[in-house]
Structure 1
């Protein structure tokens, strides 16, 4: 999923939410120094998987890779998550680790 397509779609649907996302979420929260972008990606992916927010998983898996997480680390994180968020959540999240960053069918 292309970040620019998502951002442009959000701008068309809700310009204010797009502005808040860019300026507050990615411009402030993701930039704070206490946690690294890598750590923030792990937290975000765990929350998205645990809450079943599948539509956001593909983009955030790609973003996590940009933040230095490898496929093996992501696989381990989702495997660990199975015991806290449930097997279906972990298996669904693992499906987003394919080359195309989309669910395996």
Structure 2
């Protein structure tokens, strides 16, 4: 599996993408009032799982926990996703959770 970039490595590799990620995604989209950060994390984990974006999952699992999701809730979300995103996607996501 390819290594996930953190903000420092992303800044070195693609400074503009890092800037846009911070300014548009985290300082705007994640701050909007219509969904709380906890709900945004659930949506994000679901999308990353369904799309097979495993490199992004470990960071977003940690972020989801910072946003109030418990490990049990994340496990339940991945279990639920098995029926909508596919069994292999859910099991792969659970493997990322187990790395925590």
- In which range does the TM-score fall when normalised by the shorter chain? over 0.9
Establish whether residue 51 from structure 1 lines up as the match of residue 51 from structure 2. yes
Instruction: Give the Å deviation of 1:86.
Output: 0.2
Q: What is the CA distance between 1:97 and its match in structure 2?
A: 1.7
1:8-33 CA-to-partner distances (Å, cap 9, x unmatched) read: 10011111000000000000000001
TM-score normalized by structure 1? Answer: 0.88
In structure 1, the residue matched to 2:15 is 15
Structure with bigger helix share is 1
| RMSD of Structure 2 on Structure 1 (CA) | 1.0
Q: Distance in 2 between matches of 1:62 and 1:46?
A: 14
Task: Structure 2 unaligned segments of length 5 or more: list them.
Answer: none
Dislocated runs of 4+, deviation >3 Å: none
The separation in 2 between residues aligned to 1:74 and 1:7, in whole angstroms, is 24
Q: Tell me the TM-score normalised to structure 2 length.
A: 0.93
